[in-house]
Amino acid sequence: MSLSHLFFTCPTPHPHNNRPPPLPAPPPSAPKSTDRGPVSDESTQTDFGSMDVFSNAPAPTASIDACTSDGFHLDNGVKIGGGSGLLVVAGEAFTWRPWDAGGRDLLILGLGPSMYPIAPETRKCINSLGIRVDVQDTRNAAAQFNLLATERGVGNVAAALIPVGWREPH
């Protein structure tokens, strides 16, 4: 995975879309027969309609049940409203209102052993949410986060850090 895939870009409408036109849908084909033969009376017959392939998978700690016009409802009964955003990280849910911070929220990106620029479109999109972005190598980003979190508190500063040993595959 290249480093450029680690960051999202904001979708922007472009007057000259270079995508090829979609392929036409294949014509509908009716089954030749609805007769599937006699029902089996074997005791080993599997009812595939009743199988639940996720029955043994643990449920996430915070699943989003509904998106409302002013918030979210989580499966654990928590309702986030009042226009707050939602940030879910490692199964933990947090309310998020970077637009109320007046541009004071800061996201520090530590991009491994070196510093890489992020796309201007990505920076512009994050800034439009009221979040400033500072890009550094991970060691400096971690030090800056620790300092600012101590000075300002953790409410207005966040960090996304890649391990210093990470190398982009060749």
pLDDT value for 1: 40
Weakly modelled stretches of the chain, pLDDT under 70? 1-31, 33-34, 45-46, 48-49, 51, 53-55, 57-61, 90, 98-99, 101-103, 168, 170
* CA–CA–CA angle 147, 153, 155 (5° rounding): 125
- Cα distance between residue 70 and residue 85, in whole Å: 8
Q: Can you give the pLDDT at residue 21?
A: 58
What was the pLDDT predicted at 6?
44
Q: Pick from 62, 105, 123: which is nearest to 87 by CA?
A: 62
Under DSSP, is residue 73 helix (H, G, I), strand (E, B) or coil? Answer: strand
Amino acid at 90: A
Q: Dump strand ranges (E) for 83-129.
A: 85-89, 92-96, 105-111
In terms of DSSP bridges, do strands 71-74 and 85-89 run parallel, antiparallel, or are they unpaired?
unpaired
Q: Is residue 121 helix, strand or coil?
A: helix
- Residues in Cβ contact with 65 at an 8 Å cutoff, skipping those fewer than 6 apart: 73, 74, 75
